[in-house]
Amino acid sequence: MKGELRIRNVSRSYGDVDAVRDVSLDVPAGEFVTLLGPSGCGKTTLLRLVAGFERADSGSISISGRDVAGLPAHKRPVNTVFQHYALFPHRTVFGNVAFGLEMDATPKAEVRGKVERALELVRLAGLGGRRIHELSGGQKQRVALARALVLEPDVLLLDEPMAALDPKLRKEMQVELKNLQERLRITFLFVTHDQDEALVMADRIAVMNHGRVEQVGGPEELYERPRTRFVADFLGVANLFRATVTAVRDGVAHVRTESGFAFDAASDGGYREGSPAWVGLRPERISLTERSGNVFEGTIDDEVFLGDWTDWRVRVGSEVLSVGEGNVLARGRKRGDAVTLSFPPDAVLRLDDPGGEA
């Protein structure tokens, strides 16, 4: 089906470095999928393998049901929005957007109409005559988008296209790009290292680490149920503990960290009595006002003011927990205050650690 992308057991290494290891990913037509991960995780290499700028050592990639192994980049039904836009400085805005149409020998009469429609789509109507160096960063980004979209690719590849924009503009572009994708229903494969960006825009997110896809899921699913220590850490689960399961009964596991911090976790069936386990706790799931579930006495060690909320560093025994509290609620706490913190057992996330020792 047009727009469908299938990646099967793809690997690519450079010398001793395995950039992409045995990655499989299915993207149905019209879906917005984000590859999320830190720099060096292989997300850009994977994108470049789909674009045809790199060759896979093994595995296969098919686009719209067709294996593209033998197809060079210029024959693949995909187009790319590059990180630094890669606009042609010797051409005008119009000339940049028209480039691909000239290559596939679109009749001159049609080129003008198509380019103008593409520029309208990215809200740059009337700027066709501008030179590239006269544009702002946001405008360049739109030109890059129009240049790729005008060819109506089966899959649009976006390589950190927002990285060079300032935060406010980036927020606007995220929403705009998301709306554009929903209107056009073109498959988007979007690479970013920014978890907020991924959560805002994607239908599904593939979190990558050390060349592997660690978890694939919708934004809410990933946020609520990260499966591995790495995914949890990357998506803002600030409290991570290596613990031992001391008991499992009635759907509740009792876990204890090396320093003696012990609490109950709602069991998903994955805890084994006597075995080690990684567990995580989101800062915003810990309350300083309620007293139910796991309840501890602690003192405020430090505070990090983050605008709409404050990140309290609360010491409980020898552990320091990160506790998020909305600033509407944060009433006059200060460093050194004694506090009571609590969290329900179902806030505790059980995490695998495929790369680690646990």
Partner 1 sequence: MREDRRQGVSLLLPGLALLVLLFYLPQLLMLVVSLGRRTAYGGVERSLSIANYLRAVEPLYLAILGRSLVLAAVTTVLCLLVAYPVAWWIARRAPARWRNALLALVILPFWTSFLVRMYAWIVLLRSEGVVNLALGAAGLPPADLLYNDFAVLLGQLYGELPFMIIPLYVSLEKLDPSLLEAAADLGADARRTFTRVVVPQTMPGIVAGCVLVFIPSLGAYLAPDLLGGGKTAYIGNLIQSQFAVARDMPFGAALSFVLSLVVVLLLLAFRRPLRSAQAL
**Binding residues for partner 1, per CB under 8 A?**
51-53, 72-75, 78-80, 82, 84, 86-90, 99-100, 102-104, 147-148, 151
For the CB of residue 87, give the shortest distance to partner 1 in the complex, in Å. Answer: 8
Length of the chain: 358
Query: Toward partner 1, which CB reaches closer, 186 or 238?
Result: 186
For the CB of residue 72, give the shortest distance to partner 1 in the complex, in Å. Answer: 7
Interstrand relation of 349-351 and 276-281 (parallel, antiparallel or unpaired): antiparallel
End-to-end CA distance of the chain: 42
Query: Toward partner 1, which CB reaches closer, 51 or 238?
Result: 51
83, amino acid identity: Q
Q: What tokens appear for 154 in the block?
A: 């089966």
Query: Toward partner 1, which CB reaches closer, 81 or 216?
Result: 81
Query: Toward partner 1, which CB reaches closer, 98 or 213?
Result: 98
Query: Toward partner 1, which CB reaches closer, 132 or 177?
Result: 132
Between the alpha carbon of residue 204 and those of residues 27, 36, 94, 153, 198, the distances in Å are 9, 10, 33, 20, 9
d(CA 147, CA 136): 16
Query: Toward partner 1, which CB reaches closer, 156 or 231?
Result: 156
d(CA 187, CA 251): 41
**Helix 137-149 and helix 167-184: axis angle, to 10°?**
20
For the CB of residue 167, give the shortest distance to partner 1 in the complex, in Å. Answer: 24
Between the alpha carbon of residue 80 and those of residues 53, 76, 176, the distances in Å are 11, 11, 18
Task: Tokens 């296969």: give the residue.
Answer: 60
For the CB of residue 111, give the shortest distance to partner 1 in the complex, in Å. Answer: 13
Query: What is the DSSP code string of 170-193?
Result: HHHHHHHHHHHHHHH--EEEEEES
Query: Toward partner 1, which CB reaches closer, 69 or 103?
Result: 103
Under DSSP, the state recorded for 350 is E
Q: Is 291 exposed, middle or buried (0-12, 13-18, 19+ CB in 10 A)?
A: exposed
Query: Toward partner 1, which CB reaches closer, 46 or 205?
Result: 46
